[in-house]
Amino acid sequence: MLNFLKQVGDYAKETAQAAKFIGQGLSVTFDHMKRRPVTVQYPYEKVIPSERYRGRIHFEFDKCIACEVCVRVCPINLPVVDWEFNRETKKKTLNHYSIDFGVCIFCGNCVEYCPTNCLSMTEEYELASYDRHNLNYDNVALGRLPYKVTEDPMVAPMREFAYLPKGAMDPHDLPKGTQRAGRLPKDILAEIEAEEAKKTPANAAAEEKSSS
Amino acid sequence: MTLATLNLAEGVQLVSFGLLGLIMLVGALGVVLLSNIVYSAFLLGLVFISISGLYILLNAGFVAAAQVLVYVGAVNVLILFGIMLVNKQEDFATVKNAWVGKAATGAVCAGLFGLLSTMVLSHPWTISTVPAAGDRAIEVIGQHFFSDYLLPFELASVLLLIALVGAIILARREYLPDTAIPTEEALTLPEKPRELVAAGSRDSL
Amino acid sequence: MTPGIDLQGTFVRALTDLGLPAGAAKTVWIPLPMVLMLIVATVSIFICVWLERKISAAAQQRIGPEYVGPLGALQAVADGVKLIFKADITPAKADPWLFIIGPAIVVIPVFLSFLIVPFGQNLVITDLGIGIFLWIALSSITPIGLLMAGYSSNNKYSLLGGLRAAAQSISYEIPLALAVLAVVMMSNGLSTIDIVNQQSQYGILGWNIWRQPVGFVIFWISALAECERLPFDLPEAEEELVAGYQTEYTGMKFGLFYVGSYVNLMLSALIVSVLYLGGWSFPVPVESITALLGISETAPVVQIVAASLGIVMTMLKAYLLVFLTILLRWTVPRVRIDQLLDLGWKFLLPIALVNLLVTAGLKLTLPGFFGG
């Protein structure tokens, strides 16, 4: 009898607990209703990609020395480098270069390891096309300059949350010329450099001399 | 109340009685005659609903709702469940002297039909002078259940209890001997077994 | 209790004054409340769909429909128009007759159940003696339509979804009916009007939710299961069954299922508000307000204000419950089929029985409080 009563008591306790948890869940959901919608009305508004955004890869044909480092560091050996050995100059001449963005995972290894910095990441991400073969970009397509969201007259650029001024939650209708919270990296860099130059002017001068 | 409404009400009653009767008869014939058992089951639901319509015409709203709830909502759905969950197709062996069974069935049906028709013809059909209970029907039914119809009522509840216990025992399978459950052969998929492809076997190329 | 406005009497009298015979006047009156209720039900779909989309969006920090009409209020209309113009496809080897009849059988009982939903003392299509029992009986027809739709689609997901839906409906009907029974026992009648009148004496304190808290929870859970709302939407669980019994349906036949589910939700919310939240009664009884203001209770202005207040209160309570449902939809994950049946048969059913027993006992011991 006592055992049975204990069972009933435990069951009731579990039920109360389940009800409590559902109540907690409801309060969480309810709390979310008060928050700002994160929606970006895409074709009319676009988020400004951050500085280190890894978008479509840009390629500068003239800088490339056809060393194929990009092919070696690529997880799937994706870039196709078509070169010929020029016997007169004893250098490789690049004929074609292509990356298939239908296969690329945008890891950025090629950009990191390129010895001549001829590869770089852009902030372009709208690569949709009707045929997947159109995603195989050749050196001409890779060489096109990316367009900036902020310069598109059809688009209202939206700043990401981390780039909003202090206290602002909504990227819409920000006053012009507002800066994000904290100092910009280039200001910090300039300050550090100025400080170091002040601290050891002699050393710095010496260093500069030796390096030049 | 004037003559116009009375006529309208009577006309509506007559037409709906005719319609309900027609639906019921056609549905019942369909239940018996159709070869697709699922159609039969759905038509049975139609028959039950038209019967409940007849109850409404008789001013017995509660009985009509109970008819819908019990027969359509429970019995018919259970029948449909039974049909849809049991899909074992079996070719029955032809029984010798099958005509005997059919003849016996026919005899029983004819006898029942005869009995019922003699009953219908011999009964002195008079319209009851007691006014219909209408909305008070629930109280009247309850009083009957706990006074003069107590024994049938309790017997029916005991029957249902037995059915309930039986269903639980069947479902739990604890009290059934294990050998009673036939061990079926393992189910096999109708696909071809796939050949294993070695991934990245560069040397074989 | 005040008799409230007698719209029917006034209307018939006005027509007979114009020279119509009384019978004809009554005949003209008969379809009016039905048409009005159909319109109310249809508009409630649009409101429900709009609420569902907007509240879901808010709970997920989205915006939701915005461009169709003010604040996207006409989104449901746009969806409906789209469904009307869609190609109506009957799958090959499907059973064409059952395929057409199925959605109709699902929708018709739901609309019929609006017969008994009261918005005021006289603002109901018919004050049937069997009232709430009619709703229970009618809602038990729906599983047949679901089975029909599932069977006729010639699709295994449809059949499974239909069977699940029917199993769910019939197993949750029992705790639902038992919870209703406890309320009915307290109000000594099945009529929805009686049930509301019995609660409306002491304002908010007299509502059945205080006397039947357990019954309220049981009823609400079962009603959610009957409507196939989200914690219990197994019959159309996308991840498992594509869309359950709706898989093969397109165009307006799918639209019927859609309409049916939202009307059913609205109906359940209305019935909960009638059974447990005092229906059309204001949190403070109208009599005491009129007494406080020193106006006669039977003054025409007071009557009209009270009637409109009743309609608003009923709708408000119902939409509050709809809001709770939508919030619950984004809070609670879907239960498994065995959990669903466990909850229905092993939890709700015994508790509903105990609730009924306790209510009966309390009715005998405290007849003043529990409706003698």
Looking at CA atoms only, how far is residue A161 from chain C in angstroms?
Answer: 14
Contact call for A and B: 3+ CB–CB distances under 8 Å: no
Lowest mean pLDDT among A47-61, A91-105, C30-44, C260-274: C30-44
- Residues A193 and A121 both lie in one domain: no
Last residue of a domain, one of A151, A185, A201: A151
Inside any domain, residue A22: no
Looking at CA atoms only, how far is residue B121 from chain C in angstroms?
Answer: 35
**Cα C302–C303–C304 angle (5° rounding)?**
95
Looking at CA atoms only, how far is residue B10 from chain C in angstroms?
Answer: 13
Is pLDDT above 70 for B4? no
Q: Which residues of C touch A22 (CB under 8 A)?
A: 328, 331-332
pLDDT mean across residues, chain A: 87
List the CATH number of the domain containing A119: 3.30.70.3270
Mutate to test the interface with C, among B80, B86, B164, B172 (most CBs of C within 10 A): B80
Number of CB pairs < 8 Å for B and C? 85
Q: Which residues of chain C have pLDDT under 70?
A: 1-5, 237-239, 371-372
Question: Which chains border A (3 or more CB–CB pairs < 8 Å)?
Answer: C
- Residues A121 and A173 both lie in one domain: no
Residue whose C-alpha is closest to residue C142's, from C173, C178, C114, C180: C173
Distance in angstroms (rounded) separating the CA atoms of residues C345 and C123: 37
- Residues A104 and A66 both lie in one domain: yes
pLDDT of residue B205: 45
A97 vs C246, more confident: A97
- With an 8 Å Cβ cutoff, is C143 touching chain B? yes
Q: Decide if B82 contacts C161 (C-beta within 8 A).
A: no
Q: Which residues of C touch A30 (CB under 8 A)?
A: 327
- Residues A172 and A89 both lie in one domain: no
pLDDT of residue B43: 92
Lowest mean pLDDT among A69-73, A100-104, B96-100, C21-25: C21-25
- Residues A136 and A190 both lie in one domain: no
Could you tell me if residue C171 is left (phi over 0), alpha (psi between -120 and 50 degrees) or otherwise beta?
alpha
At residue B198, the 3 state secondary structure works out as: coil
- Residues A72 and A138 both lie in one domain: yes
- With an 8 Å Cβ cutoff, is A169 touching chain C? no
- Residues A71 and A134 both lie in one domain: yes
Inside any domain, residue A26: no
Task: Report the relative pairing of strands A45-47 and A119-121 from DSSP bridges.
Answer: unpaired
B-chain residue closest to C136, CA distance: B69
Distance in angstroms (rounded) separating the CA atoms of residues A132 and A135: 5
Q: Decide if C162 contacts C150 (C-beta within 8 A).
A: yes
pLDDT of residue C1: 40
Is pLDDT above 60 for B46? yes
Alpha-carbon distance values, B69 to A182, B12, B40, B77, B166 (Å): 70, 25, 19, 11, 23
pLDDT mean across residues, chain B: 81
- Residues A169 and A141 both lie in one domain: no
Last residue of a domain, one of A130, A151, A172: A151
Inside any domain, residue A47: no
pLDDT of residue C216: 92
Last residue of a domain, one of A98, A132, A151: A151
Q: With CB atoms and an 8 Å threshold, state whether C59 touches A29.
A: yes
The sign of the dihedral angle between the CA atoms of C310, C312, C316, C322 is positive
Q: Which residues of A touch C60 (CB under 8 A)?
A: 32
Is pLDDT above 60 for A211? no
- Residues A103 and A145 both lie in one domain: yes
Q: With CB atoms and an 8 Å threshold, state whether C130 touches B61.
A: yes
Binned at pLDDT 50, 70 and 90, residue A175 comes out as: confident
pLDDT of residue B180: 53
Inside any domain, residue A38: no
What structural domains and CATH numbers belong to chain B?
A: 1-87+135-177 (1.20.120.1200)
Q: With CB atoms and an 8 Å threshold, state whether A37 touches C57.
A: yes
Residue whose C-alpha is closest to residue C183's, from C155, C150, C214: C214
- What residues make up the domain containing A80? 57-151
Inside any domain, residue A9: no
Inside any domain, residue A2: no
Distance in angstroms (rounded) separating the CA atoms of residues C50 and C66: 11
- Residues A141 and A76 both lie in one domain: yes
pLDDT of residue B182: 56
Binned at pLDDT 50, 70 and 90, residue A17 comes out as: very high
Distance in angstroms (rounded) separating the CA atoms of residues C254 and C233: 16
Distance in angstroms (rounded) separating the CA atoms of residues C283 and B67: 38
**What mean pLDDT do residues A65-93 have?**
91
User: The tokens of C177 are what?
Assistant: 């009916």
- With an 8 Å Cβ cutoff, is A36 touching chain C? yes
pLDDT of residue C228: 84
- With an 8 Å Cβ cutoff, is B38 touching chain C? yes
Buried b (16+ CB within 10 A) or exposed e, B37-76: ebbbbbbbbbbbbbbbbbbeeeebbbbbbbbbbebbbbeb
- Please name the member of B65, B72, B77 whose beta carbon is closest to the beta carbon of C130: B65
Q: Decide if C162 contacts C245 (C-beta within 8 A).
A: yes
- With an 8 Å Cβ cutoff, is B160 touching chain C? no
pLDDT of residue A151: 87
Is pLDDT above 60 for B179? no
Distance in angstroms (rounded) separating the CA atoms of residues C357 and C346: 17
DSSP 8-state code for residue C15: H
Inside any domain, residue A35: no
- Residues A62 and A100 both lie in one domain: yes
At residue B78, the 3 state secondary structure works out as: helix
- Residues A68 and A142 both lie in one domain: yes
DSSP letter string, chain A: -HHHHHHHHHHHHHHHHHHHHHHHHHHHHHHHHTSPP----TTTEEEPPPTT---SEEE-GGG-----HHHHHSTT---EEEEEEETTTTEEEEEEEEEETTT-----HHHHH-TT--EEE-S------SSGGGGEEEHHHHHSPPPPGGG-TT-EEE--GGGSPTT----TTPPTT---SS--HHHHHHHHHHHHHHH-HHHHHHHHHHH-
ipTM: 0.83
Q: With CB atoms and an 8 Å threshold, state whether B68 touches C137.
A: yes
Chain C interface with A: residues with Cβ < 8 Å? 55, 57-63, 327-328, 330-332, 347
Is pLDDT above 80 for A161? yes
Q: Residue holding tokens 């002297």?
A: B97
Binned at pLDDT 50, 70 and 90, residue B204 comes out as: very low
Q: Decide if B41 contacts B83 (C-beta within 8 A).
A: yes
**What mean pLDDT do residues A117-135 have?**
91
Count of domains in chain A?
2
Inside any domain, residue A34: no
Looking at CA atoms only, how far is residue B87 from chain C in angstroms?
Answer: 12
Alpha-carbon distance values, C319 to B155, C271, C315, C316, C324 (Å): 46, 12, 6, 5, 8
